[in-house]
Amino acid sequence: MEINKVRIEDTFAEAFPMTATRLIITAADRFWAQRAAESMTGFATSVIGCGCEAGIEREVAPRESPDGRPGISVLIFSVSGKQLEKQVVTRVGQCVLTCPSTSVFAGMRGEKKVALGSHLRFFGDGFQISKVIDDRRYWRVPVMDGEFVCEESTSRCKAVGGGNFLVLSESLTGALKSCEAAMQAMRQIPNVIMPFPGGVARSGSKVGSKYKSLSASTNDAFCPTLRPVTNSLLPDGVTAALEVVIDGVDEADVSRAMRVGIHAACESGYRHGLRAITGGNYGGKLGPFHFHLHEILG
């Protein structure tokens, strides 16, 4: 299969079950909502070292947001409900509560709850006020700029983490251009985030390492400088590979994001040196979700 002369490998991306929640952060204006969201989703590229994977999903217009102010929707993914809750409370407490003019609300409804205001309310030192409005409980925590409003809890759902595709290019510049085009298109897709910096990972990994203390190590099959000394999966002429990693609320969301991203990358990618798109997997033995590239794009 080819798209605009870019070869699409007949392979699949392997992804894993995760649990996810969504928060809506509002503020006096878009600038401050963005600052809080960026801070809160920082250092959240991989559950391996960061505890969660998080990112900005989209902007929320004032008319859509719970308090009529500009907002940002963020998604947070983790391996367990307990870990997710810990990350949510810590990040909101350190990065949203601290940011001027913000409030934070549940972005997801369901039976499985994730604590939010029920934990953060104690910062009010007894001066906090609970308010139930339309069957939802909010906590009003007095702070120096007025009050921080935080919904009591949000909910979580089963999710999918680690959907991906790799762009293989004749140059780093070309690979970057392809990924930037992919990201611009993928950011319009709801229910997904691309947690790595700019949405793109340059240090794709494989399971295992020669060092006993490491569970993952560089994906040598896609390292261009190791082509002569390893079982390389890089086509001739390719000198750079980048990986776009996607976490989504469900399989359909991940699949859609992959399709949109690959098409966007291929649209003008060949001109910039893009030669192939492939998928990262572990032989299909680890993750239950398999995203076959030809099926997604077919």
Partner 1 sequence: MSQLTLKRRRESTQKLNLFAVVPNLLCELPSDEIEQLLVRADDVLTPLGEHFEVVDGAREQLVIEGELENCEAIGGGMRSGVLKVHGSVGNHLASSMRGGTLYVDGSAKKFACSNLLAGAVEVSQNVGDYAAGAVEPNSKGMRGGTFVVRGNAGRWLATRMRRGTVVVCGDVKEAAFTRMLAGTVVVCGAAKMPLATAMKRGTILLLGESNADMKACVPGFTAAETVELSFLPILIRQLQQYLPVEILPSSARVQRSIGDRADGGQGELIWCSTDQATPPHIATS
Residues that bind partner 1 (CB under 8 A): 28, 62-63, 66-69, 103, 127, 129-134, 138, 140, 146-149
Closest separation between CB of residue 69 and partner 1, Å? 7
CA 279 to chain CA mean position, Å: 17
Residue at token pair 């991306």: 13
The candidate with the shortest Cα–Cα distance to 58, out of 208, 203, 249, 187, is 187
Angstrom CA distances, 92 to 23, 36, 76, 89, stand at: 10, 9, 11, 5
CA-to-CA distance for 192 and 139, rounded, in angstroms?
28
Angstrom CA distances, 108 to 19, 65, 113, 193, 211, stand at: 12, 13, 10, 15, 41
User: Based on CB atoms, which residue is closest to partner 1, 138 or 196?
Assistant: 138
Closest separation between CB of residue 151 and partner 1, Å? 9
Reduced to 3 states (helix: H, G, I; strand: E, B; else coil), residue 214 is coil
User: Based on CB atoms, which residue is closest to partner 1, 12 or 138?
Assistant: 138
Alpha carbons within 13 A on the beta-carbon side of 50: 19
Q: Are strands 6-8 and 274-278 parallel, antiparallel or unpaired?
A: parallel
User: Based on CB atoms, which residue is closest to partner 1, 52 or 116?
Assistant: 116
Closest separation between CB of residue 197 and partner 1, Å? 32
Q: Which structure tokens are listed for 35?
A: 């600052």
Closest separation between CB of residue 278 and partner 1, Å? 46
Closest separation between CB of residue 103 and partner 1, Å? 5
User: Based on CB atoms, which residue is closest to partner 1, 116 or 181?
Assistant: 116
User: Based on CB atoms, which residue is closest to partner 1, 95 or 265?
Assistant: 95
User: Based on CB atoms, which residue is closest to partner 1, 134 or 236?
Assistant: 134
Closest separation between CB of residue 54 and partner 1, Å? 24
